[in-house]
A = this chain, B = another copy of it.
Amino acid sequence: MFKRPRSLQDIAEVLGASVEGDASVEVWTLDGIDQAERGALTFAGDDKRLAQLPDCHASAAIIQTGAEAPDGLTDRMALVRADDVQMALITLLQDAAPPEDLPEAGIHPSAVIDPSATISSSAGVGPFVRIGPGATVEAGTRLAAHVSIGARCRIGSNGVLAEGAVVRRDCVIGNGVRIGPNSVIGQDGFGYHFKDGVHHKVPHVGNVVVEDDVELGACTCIDRAKWGSTTIGRGAKIDNLVQIAHNVQVAPGAVMAALVGVAGSARIGPYAVLGGHVGIRDNIDVGEGATVGACSCLAQSCPPGQTLFGIPAKDARTKMRELSAQAKLPDLMKRVKALEKRNGDRGPSTNDSQ
């Protein structure tokens, strides 16, 4: 994976880490403890993994500065001690990444750009990109093939809009935002007024505001507001195939896994975490730092920090007790039947008339 074999000495310098053992050892790839072979660098960020290292074939491991290594481990492999094992991995992976495949600065001759749009000279506009009237694309942002930017949009600096991403009219995308392939920002919200057998479309005159450093996955949809803005707060991370309805307010740092659906005007608190397939009802509040487990359906607001799951979602401990009781329910029914027999065998549905 590394572009060339790298000595631990070299790696430690890049990471600001120290080496315990032979710093001239060379490694050529990163790998997990179970898979790593001779020549690989592995990593152990917690005690459980530290305990597995003596059985690992890697030539070296990254561990936490100050962590206690198993006895005799340094006889088997060298150690690279870093302040944050995960951040060290990120640094090494950045270095190992193949070249990106994004447009360089400049505008591909096939792009169709309205003369009233403003494109920074350091922005990269790929083939078959369409940019509408009055739109702005700021410095360093790259628009991959088949991207469409609607009229009057503002796309901030140093972002990446991947292949086929659509940002519709009047939406605002901050700086450092990444939007995945074929995602759609600014589709009309799903709102109708039913009268005389017809669903009358409610015009959606608002927009979507995506703040700085947000990342959106592939085929993810964020609908424009009826009026005002649907907002995705700074640094929020949203996976593939997620639906965010009109007027939803996602606070900074929130995280949503794939296939989540958030209904209209719901408010997702800062750093809240929604597992895959979660459904959030319209108009409710998910508290700061709350966690909703995968495949749950949250039908009412929840307080900060709570962990919930289930359909409908409940506090995790309460729900665990219910699930555990449910598993015993067939047995419970037998026990009640036995009690009824002892009490005179009056049959299951008899009302007591004593």
Nearest CB of B to A138, in Å:
20
Interface-lining segment among A9-17, A55-63, A68-76, A193-201:
A193-201
Report which of B162, B257, B279, B350 forms a contact with A277, defined as CB distance below 8 A.
Answer: B279
Asked if A241 lies at the interface with its beta carbon under 8 angstroms from chain B, I say yes
Q: Check A277 against B261 for contact (C-beta < 8 Å).
A: yes
Q: CB-CB < 8 A to A163: which residues of B?
A: 130, 148, 166, 168, 184
User: Helix, strand, loop or mixed for chain A's interface?
Assistant: loop
Interface-lining segment among A18-26, A46-54, A340-348:
A340-348
Q: Check B329 against A350 for contact (C-beta < 8 Å).
A: no
Count A interface residues, CB 8 Å.
Answer: 124
List the number of copies, as a whole number: 3
Q: Check B349 against A335 for contact (C-beta < 8 Å).
A: yes
Query: Given A87-B193, A263-B276, are A354 and B342 also a contact pair (CB < 8 Å)?
Result: yes
Q: CB-CB < 8 A to A174: which residues of B?
A: none
- What sequence of 0s and 1s flags, for each residue 138-178 of chain A, a beta carbon within 8 Å of any chain B beta carbon? 00000011101011100000000011101011100000000
A30-B227, A86-B195, A190-B239 known, 6 other contacts, Cβ within 8 Å: A90-B203, A168-B181, A182-B184, A187-B218, A329-B329, A334-B349
Using a CB–CB cutoff of 8 Å, the interface residues on chain A facing chain B are 1, 29-31, 84, 86-87, 89-90, 93-94, 96-101, 108, 110, 112, 126-128, 130, 132-133, 144-146, 148, 150-152, 162-164, 166, 168-170, 180-182, 184, 187-188, 190, 192-193, 195, 197-205, 215, 217-219, 221, 223, 226-227, 235, 237, 239-241, 243, 245, 253, 255, 257-259, 261, 263, 276-277, 279, 281, 294-295, 297, 299, 310-312, 318, 321-344, 346, 348-352, 354
28 inter-chain pairs at a CB distance below 8 angstroms, sorted by A residue, are: A31-B227, A86-B202, A87-B193, A87-B200, A93-B203, A97-B203, A110-B112, A128-B146, A146-B146, A148-B164, A166-B181, A190-B240, A198-B235, A199-B235, A199-B237, A218-B221, A239-B243, A241-B241, A257-B261, A322-B327, A326-B326, A329-B329, A331-B348, A335-B336, A338-B346, A338-B352, A342-B354, A343-B343
